[in-house]
Amino acid sequence: MSILVVGSVAIDSVKTPFGERAEALGGSATYFSIAASFFNRVNIIATVGEDFPPEYIRLFKNRRIGIGGLHVAKGKTFRWKGWYDYEFNTAHTVYTHLNVFKNFKPEVPRELRKSKHLFLANINPELQYNVLRQLERPRLVAADSMNYWLEHKKKEFERLVGKVDILLLNDSEARQFSGESNLVDAARFIVSAGPKVVIIKRGEHGVMYFSKNSRFTAPAYLLESIRDPTGAGDTFAGGLVGYLSKTPRINEASMRKGIIYGSILASFAVEDFSVNRLLGISIGDIHARYRRFRTQTRF
């Protein structure tokens, strides 16, 4: 049962205290897909411009990432430039050029409408909802968002939230949507709005998981070197959904284990710029870090 992701494929230019990269592969669908591909086949629904480098197309194919839904439009690819200081939780944007992504209206190819696992990356909630309606009977639907949509498309976001199984937000987004300053209260409010599970991403402080009857917290994996946090949240989602797509049952136990795998994939991603570190690891490396994570958190 393969995975379908709808989101952005972009070209990023990033500067941190530990270096910089220009015109590197980025985008929410990119990070998600590469992380999830360690567990299962992934298909992308996204749009790029005529200038999108062919080596990145080959990269997707080599990672068993389907590009039948990757539309090449006339114009330039979505570009983002930003920088981080030592407070890695905040990205400072220099520019955002949506280019062909501005007119992105995702259509799911007929052969992908039976996909059982769907990740709706951070795009307009109207588009997310329309994609969800195109699928027949997905087994699992996870969605991400951002503060802009919570402010400007709140009604559309609320409609979407009632249809998803897993909602991923960072701590400020959870507070914004719920109106609650305490994250436990915020999570309780969000779960009451419809999703079976809400996962609150807290960067270097790990993640918090809430369902109607359960709570779970996981710290971030302890790292000695962080070079670029771009895409960490989407990588986390890729590890989570990728793992869950291979489990016979999606339940409390598999959800918790998937969160750890998501955290581990994200820990690899931030060790280098763009997706470079993810491309240099194997599933064996992931399992080895999983075992070390268990040792670090056992008491």
Please state, in angstroms and rounded to a whole number, the distance separating the CA atoms of residues 133 and 126: 11
CA 161/CA 143 separation, integer angstroms: 8
Residue 44 contacts residue 71 (beta carbons within 8 Å): no
Cβ count within 10 A of residue 223: 12
Residue 165 confidence (pLDDT): 97
Distance between CA 218 and CA 206 in Å, rounded? 6
Q: What's the pLDDT score for residue 1?
A: 67
pLDDT-derived band at 61, boundaries 50, 70, 90: very high
- Tens-digit pLDDT profile for residues 208-226: 999 998 999 999 998 888 9
Note whether 66 and 43 are within 8 A (CB).
yes
Say what the pLDDT of residue 225 is.
87
**pLDDT per residue over 19-33, tens digit each?**
999 999 999 999 999
Distance CA 133, CA 29 (A): 19
Neighbours of 55 (CB within 10 A): 8
DSSP code of residue 179? -
The arrangement of secondary structure in 3-297, i.e. its CATH architecture, is 3-Layer(aba) Sandwich (3.40)
Q: Which pair of tokens denotes residue 235?
A: 């990588």
The pLDDT value recorded for residue 58 is 96
Q: What is d(CA 122, CA 149) in angstroms, rounded to the nearest whole number?
A: 9
Q: Is the pTM of this model over 0.75?
A: yes
pLDDT above 70 as % of the chain: 100
Tell me how far apart the alpha carbons of residues 186 and 178 are, in angstroms, rounded to a whole number: 5
Range 179-193 average pLDDT: 95
Sketch the domain layout of the chain as residue ranges.
3-297
Tell me the mean pLDDT in the region 107-117. 95
Contacts of 285 (CB under 8 A, 6+ apart): 268
pLDDT value at residue 203: 87
167, β-bridge pairs: 143, 198
What's residue 91's pLDDT? Answer: 87
- What is the overall mean pLDDT for the chain? 95
